[in-house]
């Protein structure tokens, strides 16, 4: 069974790209084929912020904005359950509030839109500055699960 997934990042200048792991942008061949697997994307924490490859005088951080999931046309049900920690601990972890995640319909393209701003009990949680590590802001592994068969 094969499903297609991708994490899309966007920088403040509007540059968008997809990552296949916490340290790798997806590169397509000249014919448009992608030779990446989603193994790291599924089994590792993914950064909420990633250095943008755009050529700017100041390095910019792109933020995880969307997750795309193309579900297979099979009787297997996939579930999406994002848990986001937008800053280093003791920052709270945000999640959709649905037990077991959101079940995705078969043979469909689903898009999850992440918020631009996360707000905790003390107000907005600011993006990391230039001196802060990006990996402390992350989406915890386990966002994608196979729930079962219909």
Residue range 49-64, pLDDT digits in tens: 999 988 777 888 999 9
pTM: 0.89
148 φψ region: left (φ > 0), alpha (ψ -120 to 50), beta (else): left
The whole-number pLDDT of residue 105 equals 92
Residue pair 43/66 in contact (Cβ under 8 Å)? The answer is no
Cβ contacts of 129 within 8 Å, gap of 6 or more:
none
- The CA-based diameter of the chain, rounded to the nearest angstrom, is 52
Among 1-10, 53-62, 113-122, the range with the most confident prediction by mean pLDDT is 113-122
Proportion of the chain above pLDDT 90, given as a percent: 51
Specify whether the CB–CB gap between 64 and 46 falls below 8 A: yes
- By the 10 Å C-beta count (0-12 exposed, 13-18 middle, 19+ buried), 134 is classed as middle
The better pLDDT of the pair 90, 2 is held by 90
């Amino acid at each position: 069974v094969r499903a297609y997934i991708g994490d899309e990042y966007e920088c403040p200048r509007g540059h968008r790209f997809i990552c296949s792991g916490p340290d790798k942008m997806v590169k397509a061949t000249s014919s448009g084929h992608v030779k990446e697997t989603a193994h790291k994307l599924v089994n590792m924490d993914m950064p909420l912020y990633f250095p943008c490859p755009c050529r700017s005088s100041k390095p910019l951080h792109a933020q995880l904005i969307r997750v795309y999931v193309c579900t297979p046309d099979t009787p297997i049900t996939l579930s999406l359950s994002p848990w986001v920690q937008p800053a280093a601990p003791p920052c709270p972890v945000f999640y959709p509030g649905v037990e077991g995640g959101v079940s995705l319909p078969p043979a469909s393209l689903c898009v999850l839109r992440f918020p631009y701003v996360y707000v905790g009990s003390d107000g907005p949680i600011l993006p990391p500055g230039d001196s802060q590590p990006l990996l402390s802001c992350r989406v915890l592994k386990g966002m994608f699960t196979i729930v079962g068969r219909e």
